[in-house]
Structure 1
Amino acid sequence: MTETIEAAKKAAAIQAVAEHFDPSATHVGIGSGTTIVYVVEAIKDRSTNPQIRFVPTGYQSRQVIIQAGLTPIAFDSLPDNVMLDVAFDGADEVDEELNCIKGGGACLFQEKLVAERARKFVCVADYRKNQSRLLTNWPTIPIEVAPISVPNVLKSLQTIGSTNPKLRTTLLEKSGPLKTDQDFFIIDAPFPALLTSADVAAGKGKGDGTDGKWEVNRLSQVIKEITGVLEVGIFSGLNGVDAEALRVKEGSLRTVTGGQKPVAVYFGMQDGSVQVRKANE
């Protein structure tokens, strides 16, 4: 099973890079997780431009970039007017509308920064992550919070319908809560499977939690508004292409830079094939 999963990740990474990595790019975002190792390998095989700078989403992805002989640059070192040409990252689960849950590896804040700074975010995953609705197989929403706010956030999550949200601890529980690269904590919050916007339009639920069902975007917004929450591990709303169109249309009235959702998701399948799901299809 492990060999099948790793082969699926590698196949998805190779195809995603082949279709979205441009050797003439100047800045490329690199996400976190086991799948990204294969993405960086594929980029190294195709890259002919030593001037490309790679922006990692955390410590692990920075090490992968360095070990591949590529050049990392910190996110906060990017010039103000520079957008990433593309960002590659994984996901813990992806639904039919390309909404994602991320944060299983505790890098969700920097992952979202990088995704929103990219002209396009391309997601690479294996077949297990391909679900019709979020929270079908993946059990919780990761939420990055200020340590002092943990009791308040836990209580607020229970109020809006999360069953038994928990503070994530290290593998050695005696070592205490797991810390992110920002020295924040992670809360993992279970909810019933989330509705898509199409579900709400079809009358399958209100989506505002009053009937026990939350729509992806609504839940993300409500959690983000809880005092003490730095970021929510739901990647929804706009993708990079749609965000660019909105910026052109509304100009300075919009503070949005890029999109949280991928423009395409590459799922490596059990039989060695790759299933591609694209935005607006």
Structure 2
Amino acid sequence: RFARGDLPAEICPPRFAAEICPQCNLPASELPAEFFPAEAKHLILERGLRLFELEHCDEELDWSADSADEIDAELNMIKGGGGCLLQEKIVDTAAGTLVIVCDESKYSSQFGQKWKGGIPLEVVPMAWSLVKRRVESQFGGKALLRESLGKLGPVVTDNGNFLLDWHFEQQHNWEEVDFQLHQMPGVIETGLFIQAASKIYVGKLDGSVSRLVLK
């Protein structure tokens, strides 16, 4: 049983679940972290895999495959650039093993070196301005309400919340920052994934793959 998170299609398409898993004798079930399009669902079901949502799952997940917006030298991750950080963290936490797959553009010595989108924060709509002020006052930088592209108003998550993108100005103890952010009323979840991955595989331009492990 595994969950596919927000891996880009070129890295982990639905066909991976439909064709590779049976060949590797993996358990014949998949739990999606996000809604699959109709054609992807058909492909998965056609290959004999079971497709279901987390709330209907009464078994432990063996592993979850996901990606990241940025990974630092301590193997902390920023995730949620696509706006699904809360659901991703729930699914990744539900899995016994979290496997991260990305290319070398996602790996840097420290946060902000390559990823310029800030750290996403999912917040209760009525509290977004309060959280914005508290984050900027306590940690510095700018916390910007994420606006929708192509329509009026802010981005609304699948859970009905708003997103703040915190553009920090300096490096922090990210584990401590994550803890303090969770203490702020109105903060639902953060895009900080502190040493959450069991295995990280980084693809390089020369075709080689590096495996990163916690020290």
Matched, 1:58 2:28: no
Contact 2:123 2:187 in 1 (8 A): yes
Alpha-carbon separation, structure 2, partners of 1:266 and 1:62: 26
State the percentage of identical aligned residues.
Answer: 29
What is aligned with 2:43?
68
The change in CA–CA distance for 1:186 and 1:33 in structure 2 (over 3 A counts) is farther
Matching residue within 108, 116, 120 for 2:97:
120
Aligned-residue offset at 1:41: 3.0
Structure 2 matches for 1:127-206, cutoff 5 A? 127-139=104-116, 140-172=118-150, 174-194=151-171
Runs of 5+ consecutive residues of structure 1 not aligned to the other structure = 1-26, 195-213, 238-260
Matched, 1:217 2:175: yes
Alpha-carbon separation, structure 2, partners of 1:93 and 1:37: 16
Contact 1:266 1:276 in 2 (8 A): yes
Alpha-carbon separation, structure 1, partners of 2:213 and 2:142: 34
Normalising by structure 1, report the TM-score: 0.68
Contact 1:30 1:36 in 2 (8 A): no
The change in CA–CA distance for 1:128 and 1:159 in structure 2 (over 3 A counts) is same
| Secondary structure of the corresponding residue to residue 187 of structure 1 | strand
Structure 2 matches for 1:217-256, cutoff 5 A? 217-237=175-195
Aligned-residue offset at 1:36: 7.2
Normalising by structure 2, report the TM-score: 0.88
Matching residue within 184, 192, 207 for 1:272:
207
Alpha-carbon separation, structure 1, partners of 2:91 and 2:54: 7
Number of equivalences = 208
Alpha-carbon separation, structure 1, partners of 2:169 and 2:120: 14
What is aligned with 1:29?
3
Runs of 5+ consecutive residues of structure 2 not aligned to the other structure = none
The change in CA–CA distance for 1:279 and 1:99 in structure 2 (over 3 A counts) is same
Alpha-carbon separation, structure 2, partners of 1:133 and 1:182: 30
Alpha-carbon separation, structure 1, partners of 2:158 and 2:127: 17
Which letter maps to 2:190? Answer: V
Give a deviation string over 1:64-105, Cα, whole Å, max 9, x none.
8515324321111121xx221000000000112211100001
Alpha-carbon separation, structure 1, partners of 2:7 and 2:63: 17
The change in CA–CA distance for 1:76 and 1:36 in structure 2 (over 3 A counts) is farther
Structure with the larger strand share: 2
Matched, 1:41 2:15: yes
Aligned-residue offset at 1:129: 0.3
CA RMSD of aligned residues (A): 2.2
| Secondary structure of the corresponding residue to residue 153 of structure 1 | helix
Aligned-residue offset at 1:222: 0.9
Alpha-carbon separation, structure 1, partners of 2:26 and 2:200: 27
The change in CA–CA distance for 1:275 and 1:41 in structure 2 (over 3 A counts) is farther
